[in-house]
Amino acid sequence: MKPRRKTLPQKIILDTLKAFSTHPTVDEVYTEVRKIRPTISKNTVYRNLRRFAEDGIIRKVSLPGEEERYDRVTDRHYHFQCEICDSISDIEIDYLDGVNETVRQKYGIQINGHEIVFRGICPKCGVNRK
């Protein structure tokens, strides 16, 4: 595959995403990018985030019933979603490769990967509830 040309808007979008400690939506990235490049369109931000995810530079996080979010961490890992503030954070535990094989053997289906999302209340929201 021919390497893609990198433009200044692409660099700004990628740098902006990587500055987040969370898993931002397109709207959140767009809001921050516009502070640097006010003329950029939301479509340009969206298109480039999707392209970066396709190229493996970032990771798209899709949760049922939620807007797509983007993650600067590309290795396989799990996520936690707060039931109060909807924040998503990384869970740093070993990736459970054996689960794929267990499911494949039991159901005879090809498994290409899996996602696990833990849900609960984040520390920040837990403190605010007391």
Q: What is the CATH number of the domain that holds 33?
A: 1.10.10.10
DSSP per-residue string spanning the chain? -PPPPPPHHHHHHHHHHHH-SS--BHHHHHHHHHHH-TT--HHHHHHHHHHHHHTTSSEEE--TTS--EEES--SS-EEEEETTT--EEEE-S---HHHHHHHHHHH---------EEEE--HHHHHHH-
pLDDT digits (tens, 9 = 90+) for 74-120: 999 999 999 999 899 999 999 998 999 999 999 999 998 888 999 99
pLDDT band, residue 130 (cuts 50/70/90): low
Q: Are residues 68 and 82 in the same domain?
A: no
Q: Which domain holds residue 20?
A: 1-73
What's the confidence (pLDDT) of residue 4? 67
**pTM of this structure:** 0.82
Q: Are residues 63 and 86 in the same domain?
A: no
The yes-or-no verdict on residue 2 having pLDDT over 70 is: no
What's the confidence (pLDDT) of residue 59? 94
Q: Are residues 64 and 92 in the same domain?
A: no
**Mean of all residue pLDDT scores within the chain:** 92
The structural domain count of the chain equals 2
Question: Mean pLDDT throughout 51-66?
Answer: 92
